[in-house]
Amino acid sequence: MSVKQQVITDEQWRHARTIWDYHQMHHDLRRCDVAIGLGSHDLGVARATVELYHAGWFPLLVFSGATSPTTAARFPRGEAVHYREHALELGVPDEAILLEPNATNTGQNIALSRQVLADAGIQPGSVLLISKPYMERRAYATARKVWPEVEVVCASEPLELDDYVSSIGDPKLVIDMLVGDLQRVIEYPKLGYAIEQPVPGEVHDAYQALLRAGFDSRLLTP
């Protein structure tokens, strides 16, 4: 089927849910020294970070992210800047937010946020890493590679796949993103960007089935 497919079958939704569940680390929340909110097209990351801050899971946070072709229109001043503005509107005090405005990929999100913290005299032992729901595993694998000394706990907006699809408004695009992130989980360790993650057989089968069905617009460019 073509990449323009709009009708998604029950079987394809089942495969998507399998991958969605795999992408989430299902970590138990614990209090961490700092949090890093990973910039993206999704303002839900900022909302989740704010809620977790107000709940007392960390005293200090870094918003990280420049802009990209997919976020320039929505966040013209940069992802981290817009996240910070949203957090201030929702009652997070300015002194609790550090800004990392230059990262253009997940590895840079981690490495540059680490440097921002170091420049502020902060060397955390634990980090709450807050991302899009389907990006938890890739963020975790990246952080373990880039910053192996720190304990990483992952979190995201507590949404089911159907709710996330509704928030984005494009089911095909969401499934494409699930597939694309899974490809990165598989391929990035070979490139030195992340640690290996085991991929269960049912997840791999779901991935292959969705690839065959044309959910491939977010794959890595050869």
pLDDT for the residue 75: 86
Torsion of CA 49, 51, 57, 59, to 10 degrees: 70
Taking the CA atoms of the chain, what radius of gyration do you get in angstroms? 17
Q: Which residue has the tokens 């913290």?
A: 117
d(CA 222, CA 220) in angstroms, rounded, equals 6
pLDDT for the residue 221: 85
Lookup: tokens for 16:
């998507």
pLDDT for the residue 7: 87
What is the side-by-side strand order in the sheet with 151-156?
Answer: 97-100, 61-64, 34-38, 126-131, 151-156
Burial (0-12, 13-18, 19+ Cβ within 10 Å), 13: middle
pLDDT for the residue 2: 38
pLDDT above 90 for 1: no
Question: Which among 161, 163, 168, 169 has a CA at the least distance from the CA of 206?
Answer: 161
Burial (0-12, 13-18, 19+ Cβ within 10 Å), 3: exposed
pTM assigned to the model: 0.93
pLDDT above 50 for 130: yes
Question: Which among 41, 79, 47 has a CA at the least distance from the CA of 169?
Answer: 41
pLDDT above 60 for 122: yes
Task: With beta carbons less than 8 A apart as the criterion, state whether 81 and 62 touch.
Answer: no
pLDDT above 90 for 40: no
pLDDT above 70 for 153: yes
Bridge partner list, 37: 63, 130
pLDDT above 80 for 211: yes
pLDDT for the residue 76: 87
